[in-house]
Structure 1
Amino acid sequence: MFWRKQRAAIEGFHPLHRALVLEQGFSVSLPRDQWEPVIQSLAGHEAAVKRRRWRITPRTTRVLVPMLRVLAADMPPEGTLSVALDMRGAKVPEKRGPERPVQVSRPILSMKEWFVFDPWLRMRAELRDGSVVELSVTDRIRHRKYKKRNPRGKVKYKHKTKTVQLVSVTRRLGKGASPRPPGTPPPGWVQVRVKDGNRFTIRASAKLAGPLKDDELRERILHVSTEPFRWTPPGADAGAPGRRTQ
């Protein structure tokens, strides 16, 4: 009976919420106002679902939902918000790169290294000021598996990982708009590049030693997202995302 109630609750979720539960992700583009039902559906997940197999990662409510609200607040009603969400995790085979040998010195006898790239969040929003913002978050995990001889002569195998979270936010300005350098530089952990073309493009990126807790990661994403808007002259960026997460 309990199983049937949980299944019925899932069937009542928004289709994108249901895809996240059953398929661990989705990729879709919707007008701004069509995202609010998705947010409301996700908000009721924990109350409706208790079985482990149907739980969703806290990243959904602590990172995705706040970013949806921040971007939607700065969009016109007809603006399109696109999201590609992949919560399958880093163990999916196609996310793993090739192995390569690493030069070692004793007491390590041999070592192999490979990287896993998990681009779990991508977003694109058309803002009311005519600019377009694209955001991506990728977990990069370095794996090292090695053979080591200890002082007693016994050979042991070790496996270590190191995670870095890559955040990139790109803002393509509207036609005729041009950037102006801000009065203060970005923090040292944020890199900013400006590219001239048909439209000016400002890209802010950061490499974060992780894995960070979801709340801290959200704050870092918001901080990086602020940088491309500091390059817009006052009065031309009324729709720039702030740090609202409500």
Structure 2
Amino acid sequence: MLLATLLGCLLLGIVNANIIASRSVANINQVFIACSGNATFDFGAGIPITQKYVLTVASLIRGFNNWNVGYGSSQIARLTYIQSSNGFIHPNYEATNENHNIGVLVLDTLLPASLITSLSFPQFDVSIPRVYQEGTIVGFGITEATDKPSPSPSWKSVYPSVVSDDSCQKQFQNVNLISTFCAHDSHSESKKVCEGDRGSALAISHRGVWVLAGLTSTVSKTCAQNEITSFVRVETYVPWIKSVTGLL
């Protein structure tokens, strides 16, 4: 059974997922990460940036030692798998407060070229994202606080809007606002960013370009309506990402 297999360490994914058919034409080749090592288990997400490298959060790399990569479907039971056995985390990563929470998984086998993200790195004359910009997340995270700690059988979409730095600091007192921003979808009927969504890419449309603005960093374990989510500000780390992946 697939869910039993996930008690090992899996990295699952979506290929060419049209994340908001009615609101966008962006294609995000999102991946979902579930991993184990040293008698621990966790899961989250990431995004392929080359055929060999997957961008994700450091908290899904540190403490684990093996990952399998699944791709090819928006349904978890139809994924195809390859392996990863190595990764990098940012040298300034602080596990206590999740500052600089970014890392790169190195795949043992190349992904199909069609899986590489169509999102652009944020390299504009203004900082991305800006307050009140709406973004899109898609992933296999749990959908309710009562769910077991296992992936959703199919991907879901969330549409949070960026909140002010003051609001971010109220919930995450030790947040580094240079490298982190926060967002929240306050609509009562919206899905929430929950456990299992860490590492999910936040895509934002800016001046006609779909941008990889953030990676989901600190999430709610209760899927609470009033809780905001913190995100790694990808813009801060573009030079580091390029240096470790050879994209210079």
Interval of TM-score (by shorter of Structure 1 and Structure 2)? under 0.3
Q: Which has the higher contact order (CA 8 A, sep 6+)?
A: 2
* TM-score, L = length of structure 2: 0.25
Q: Which structure shows the bigger proportion of residues in helix conformation?
A: 1
Structure of higher CA gyration radius: 1
* TM-score, L = length of structure 1: 0.26
